[in-house]
Copies of this chain bind each other. A is one copy, B any other.
Amino acid sequence: MTELLFNKKLQVQVKCKDCDDRRANIRISIELQFTTNPIHKRDLVVRLTDDSDLFFLYNLVISEEDFQSLKIQQGLLIDFTSFPQKFIDLLNQCISEQEKDNPRFLLQLSSPSPALDHSPSNLNIVETNAFKHLTHLSLKLLPGSDVEIKKYLAACLSALKEEKQLLEQKLKKTEEDLTRQLSYAQQ
């Protein structure tokens, strides 16, 4: 079972090695995945995609155990249950600032290689105050494999097919309704 917690397009500052920083519009989705078999398990799945580049996919799956390491490593004071909402609050803070010339909160995608190619990249939420850059959160995301991208595209395609079908039904119904009303009004 999957619970979608967040799915928005955000402005991200892309930083690569030896490159000028650039801005990109990246879609971030956050999902909670529940597994009951063989054991009860909750995973937080963070996914970065680009609506204009269908092959762009970065993933991070955080299990409850992973979260304990992340918590220690980044000095977090919250538990796994509260983490998603706190993460979403920070992302919303970035959104509310993203049109400003000097945003206080900024989302960064930082790659150690010359381009966003096939190396792990860090998604950072950075606050800039008068004194320094403060990294509130830094998550290491892995680029999607061909199999993962394939599955992601198939899921998009299924969803889009359904949306298109609903739209076709709506068009048909709208035409019928309005044509009926029109012929009634013209009588």
Chain A residues within CB distance 8 Å of chain B: 54-55, 145-147, 149-150, 153-154, 156-158, 160-161, 163-164, 167-168, 170-171, 174-175, 178-179, 181-182, 185-186
Known A153-B157, A156-B157; 5 more pairs at CB < 8 Å: A54-B157, A174-B175, A174-B178, A178-B181, A185-B186
Nearest-Cβ distance from residue A153 to partner chain B, whole angstroms: 4
Find the B residue at minimum CB distance from A183: B185
Nearest-Cβ distance from residue A111 to partner chain B, whole angstroms: 21
Nearest first, the 7 A-B pairs at minimum CB distance are: A178-B178, A146-B146, A153-B153, A185-B185, A54-B154, A150-B150, A171-B171
Tell which of B149, B164, B174 touches A163, judged by Cβ atoms closer than 8 Å: B164
Bound together, the chains give a CA A168 to CA B170 distance in angstroms of 10
Nearest-Cβ distance from residue A33 to partner chain B, whole angstroms: 21
Bound together, the chains give a CA A164 to CA B170 distance in angstroms of 12
Find the B residue at minimum CB distance from A54: B154
Nearest-Cβ distance from residue A14 to partner chain B, whole angstroms: 21
Bound together, the chains give a CA A156 to CA B185 distance in angstroms of 43
Bound together, the chains give a CA A36 to CA B86 distance in angstroms of 55
Bound together, the chains give a CA A147 to CA B150 distance in angstroms of 8
Find the B residue at minimum CB distance from A161: B160
**Chain B residues near A171 (CB-CB < 8 A):** 167, 170-171, 174
Nearest-Cβ distance from residue A152 to partner chain B, whole angstroms: 9
Tell which of B146, B161, B185 touches A147, judged by Cβ atoms closer than 8 Å: B146
Find the B residue at minimum CB distance from A170: B171
Bound together, the chains give a CA A161 to CA B51 distance in angstroms of 11
Tell which of B161, B170, B181 touches A182, judged by Cβ atoms closer than 8 Å: B181
